[in-house]
Structure 1
């Protein structure tokens, strides 16, 4: 049986059924749906129809109802994530540079000294801050979509794990919320495990940005860092890797499920070196929270994206969502689409300090098969049609 960690789910209903029901049945339908969310599409017309039929449509004060304050807390929490993702690094870098030419120049110098002394921390598991991981801003962020974390089997803390999270998406909301924060109660769902989200190495050396990111329990995705985390004497270490990376972000298209995995085998070698179990993870809905401009593979725009990715390790994507103050306008706010992150069954991997290519290929095939099976088993319960399948590139 699956267990779910989640924020507060929005109430749901089906206004279209009202037209197909008789007069008495319409009353019963409205009574059973008195807790319609005030921003549910079509709810205003449905409530007006209820008043016409003589049914009291005043929603009772239930915990599932979102107050205006709660809605704005969710919006602002989500917006701060977007702003930090896009602008936190450049902002602190520019501030530090311009302070050098003011009377406050010593702040920049002191930070550079600190950066020099703290240079190796990202390669040694990072430096997490439990207060920041437990901050309520992450709960509001997970409630905005909402984001759910689904456990299909137990992950005993008597071994280490390498979790591969798919798809990357534009900003990785599902992966970050579930494994880098306590927005969905990850530590309660998987007691005894210590999750470390692996991110680009360059992000952990950007002034100001590095402290914020490391406080959420991240570490560098390079080999030295991951080997350090998984070689600790205390078991229960779980490294989370968005293996598709920047290349997969280029294939982020709403409604499509294209994964960069066929030639990605470094995670298998990592698991074999440390005897860590491989765990498939899939976030249904991750690709649906932004609208994305996709370019043809042979276009100059795609060539530009690929070139930047090779030079800077990130993909410049053209994306947009809704506005901050109105869902009918466009802006940087992601769309409120449900994201369901399903954690699959672990694949036991033996410890081989010097794995052969045959071993790597074998466990890579096992992993791809397990991921595909996980997707097929849960896709319909997450709102996808039965005809939808994964595509590996």
Structure 2
């Protein structure tokens, strides 16, 4: 049984992640701009100089802060749902890996907790020697202060320059996690449904082939169940507006809600405490080819889709998904 204090700390742990995800970027961008017109203008000016000098760091491996990845608050966030990591095959540290994480969900909570806050998950014990990173939207690293926060947590830009830099390091064991479905997949984060934006997304396969990195499918059961979600028909004007906004800004505007901060029976932004289990599948070893052909890309892309589908089928009933439910590839 959890004490009231522990329950409250878990709620705070889950809620702070939401607030950071939604508001930290715009808040500090406005703050830096606002301070330029006050007597504290020198603080903003010095930071903007630093930003200019440090602009390319997210594309060169980032700046990891082990101290931040050890924060106790990540453990409270993990225990709130709870979030677990399941290993199904060995991932030796004598090679590099490109992990494809599905589904994106609203805030990719399971992926973050297991592959960024690794000291609160079982990642280091299950996969010793691997150096995990999460590749995130490149635009996030243009926002002041937020970029520093993300890099300290082990995130890097999802740009080609960034991923090529990491996978070209002489030290093996690099494990880059990419949320392949991205903002497109976030539009289908409906509880109980399993839509995967993957059919036309092949850049991660080309990346793996260029570096000879093994492809690893990863599926987080329960990711779509932590919020209630308003979805729109694909031919509706609302959906078309969401797609247009995503193309312009890089992320999708979604209508979602959870429970209240002080009461589980009220409306709010705190996610519902639904279990999330991230299952790491078997690696698909690919040859290194600096200029892969379309036939090679298509072959390993199809193999990845089949492996991901089999991973889902093998574990779905264990984590509460009906036997009649299957993955839907978009």
TM range (shorter): over 0.9
- 1:389 paired with 2:290, answer no
Equivalents in 2 of 1:292, 1:306: separation in Å? 16
Q: Does 1:77 align with 2:13?
A: yes
Q: Counterparts of 1:228 and 1:349 in 2: how far apart (Å)?
A: 19
- Aligned residue number for residue 267 of structure 1: 204
- Name 2:56's counterpart in structure 1: 120
Report the equivalent of 2:24: 88
Counterpart Cα distance in 2 of 1:77 and 1:336: 12
Following the alignment from structure 1 to structure 2, what is the Cα–Cα distance between the partners of residues 372 and 302? 27
Report what 2:141 is aligned to: 204
Give the drift of 1:383: 1.1
Partner of 2:250: 313
Q: Residue 188 of structure 1: CA displacement? A: 1.8
Shift of 1:186: 1.3
Where do 1:294-309 residues align within 5 Å? 294-309=231-246
Structure 1: stretches of 5+ with no match in the other structure = 1-64
How far the C-alpha of 1:231 sits from its partner, in A, is 0.3
State whether structure 2 residue 74 is matched by structure 1 residue 138. yes
| TM-score, reference length from structure 2 | 0.99
**Shift of residue 71, structure 1, vs aligned partner:** 0.5
* Cα distance, 1:101 vs structure 2: 1.1
* 1:177 matched residue in structure 2: 113
Cα distance in 1 for residues equivalent to 2:32 and 2:162: 27
The residue correspondences of 1:98-109 to structure 2 (distance < 5 A) are 98-109=34-45
**1:156 counterpart residue number:** 92
CA distance in 2, matches of 1:273, 1:103: 51
Deviation at 1:185, TM superposition (A): 2.7
Residue 296 of structure 1 deviates from its aligned partner by: 1.1
Alignment partner, residue 231 of structure 1: 168
The offset of 1:86, in angstroms, is: 0.5
Alpha-carbon displacement from aligned partner over 1:236-284 (angstroms, at most 9, x marks no partner): 0000000000000011110000000011000000000000000000000
Q: Could you give the per-residue CA deviations for residues 113-148 of structure 1, whole angstroms, max 9, x where no partner exists?
A: 110111110000110100100111101001000000
Instruction: Establish whether residue 110 from structure 1 lines up as the match of residue 49 from structure 2.
Output: no
| Structure 2, gaps ≥5 residues long | none
Report whether the alignment pairs 1:348 with 2:282: no
Out of 318, 329, 334, the residue aligned to residue 266 of structure 2 is 329
Counterpart secondary structure, 1:381: helix
Q: State how far apart, in whole Å, the 1-side matches of 2:124 and 2:24 are.
A: 27
User: CA offsets per residue over residues 45-104 of structure 1, 9 Å max, x none?
Assistant: xxxxxxxxxxxxxxxxxxxx2111110110011111000000001110111111111111
Matches within 5 A, 1:36-51: none
Aligned to 1:39: none
Match of 1:375 in 2: 312
Higher relative contact order (CA closer than 8 Å, sequence separation 6+) = 2
How many residues matched?
329
Separation in 2 of the partners of 1:101 and 1:266?
43
Q: What are the superposed Cα offsets for residues 286-334 of structure 1, whole Å, 9 maximum, x if unpaired?
A: 0000001111111111111000000011000000000000010011000
Q: Structure 2 CA distance, aligned partners of 1:187 and 1:213?
A: 20
